[in-house]
A and B are shown apart, each in its own frame.
Chain A
Amino acid sequence: MESDDFVLPGTELGFAEEFMPGKGTYEDDGKVYSAMTGTLKIDMKERKIIVEPRTNIIPEPKVGDIVIGKILDVKQQFGVVRVIRLLGNPRELPDTIGTIHISRAKSSYVQDISMEFSGGDIVKAKVVDIKRHPISLGTVEKDLGIIKAYCSKCNIALELENGKLKCPNCSSIESRKCSSDYGNGNV
């Protein structure tokens, strides 16, 4: 097999002594095989084989990506987010948890993070670090933050009125770190 060849799952790519099996490949009984449908890439310098899929791919968050998630919990120092999708990609991420640290919630000083996020809210955030699990997210930019929030008393979607979040049912005012496109449904 040569670099740029089209490979299918199960195609033999080389010997395990010869190449390191990278992404999209697997090793079995001393040989390297493809696990994906795509293009073979051989790195002769690193002696590494990978397969770049040509199919619909399972999304993975990278540093700098904008993601859509749901706030699961709010702790003293950070909010916990279930990262659901990358912005603009309809395919769901497989079981990814992220955290938004209090220092990355917004550009100004945050006294109490529960004033910025609340469980059940939908958030748009930027991926800051993926080295550790859970991954780190930030909502400092103007267009990042909560894009849909729910009333803490009646669990009804809050509406943006004169820059404030108001519950249409009980008229209570709540505070969040809102994205500039709150309520637009731009996901």
Chain B
Amino acid sequence: MKVGEPEEFIIDGKRLDGRAPDELRPIKIEAGVLERADGSCYLEWGGNKVLAACYGPREIHPKHEARSDRAALRTYYRMAPFSVNDRKRPGPDRRSVELSKVIRNTLESVVFLHLFPMTAIDVYIEILQAQAGTRCAGITAASVAIADAGIPMKELIPSCASGKIDGKVVVDLFDTEDNYGEADVPVAIIPRTGEIALLQMDGNLTQEEFEEALNLAVKGCKDVYEKQKEALMKRYGGE
């Protein structure tokens, strides 16, 4: 047993932060928060605080990154030095480079990049405060920022994770569960078609557990999707 590891993760059917196994942390999304960005979004997901900004389509530098048939989507996932308990050493590291890549791949599946050849669309995701599940929060915020920038896209893309604690599959792990739990499965879906745009797994799950985890995460994604729609509706006035 590691230092700080709780003896039990689920007490009387409630998790350590008082949530039910299939309950998400509270989510707050606000679109269009930055004046100078073409599109932006601020998201709070439990203890996660994420700011996403989208620029473009604009001139691409360095020029060799330009694509003659589509825009180059460039994502920058960055954690603020004060986002975690120990100071996060600023600058790109192995983890943020990988997360930038998986987030880019996820967003590429919905943005109509072929409309803007020889340009760049830049998406900056700043993690101001982290409490596990920042890649899901990042994807969720980034897709709202892209929609806010008026860049044509197939659909908003929500993301949510599930995992395993105390041998039980639960949705949306927070930091203690993520650090000492048994598995973590981040998922992003395209809601209308149900296509999976991101699927990763950290830890070990049996096939049955994996399917349960995937279903729970997809269900979580659908709740997140409603929040994304609400944010855009609030900003641009539904009715």
Contacts and interface: CB of A to CB of B under 8 A. Distances in A.
A95 B71 CA distance: 10
B226 to A, nearest CB: 11
Interface string A32-55: 010111100000000000000111
Contacts, number: 85
A37 B232 contact: yes
B154 A9 contact: yes
Contacts of A38: 236
Interface in A1-58: 6, 8-10, 12, 24, 26, 28, 33, 35-38, 53-58
Contacts of A164: none
Given A8-B229, A92-B58, A95-B118, A55 B153 contact: no
Contact of A35 (B112, B117, B239): B112
B178 to A, nearest CB: 30
B23 interface: no
Give chain A's interface secondary structure class.
loop
Interface stretch (B7-15, B95-103, B123-131, B142-150): B142-150
| B interface bracket (residues with beta carbon within 8 Å of A) | 20 to 34
A99 B118 CA distance: 19
Interface in B54-84: 56-59, 71
A28 B154 contact: yes
A37 B148 contact: yes
B233 interface: yes
Interface residues of A, number: 25
A124 to B, nearest CB: 19
Q: Which of A6, A24, A26, A95 has the most CB of B within 10 A?
A: A95
Contacts of A8: 147, 156, 229, 232-233
Given A6-B239, A26-B112, A56 B59 contact: no
A25 B19 CA distance: 40
- Classify the interface of chain B: helix, strand, loop or mixed: loop
B161 interface: no
B181 interface: no
A64 interface: no
A140 B32 CA distance: 39
Contacts of A82: 59
Interface string A83-109: 010000001101100000000000000
Interface of B: 32, 38-39, 56-59, 71, 110, 112, 116-119, 147-156, 191-192, 229, 232-233, 236-239
7 contacts: A10-B154, A33-B154, A35-B152, A37-B148, A55-B149, A92-B58, A95-B57
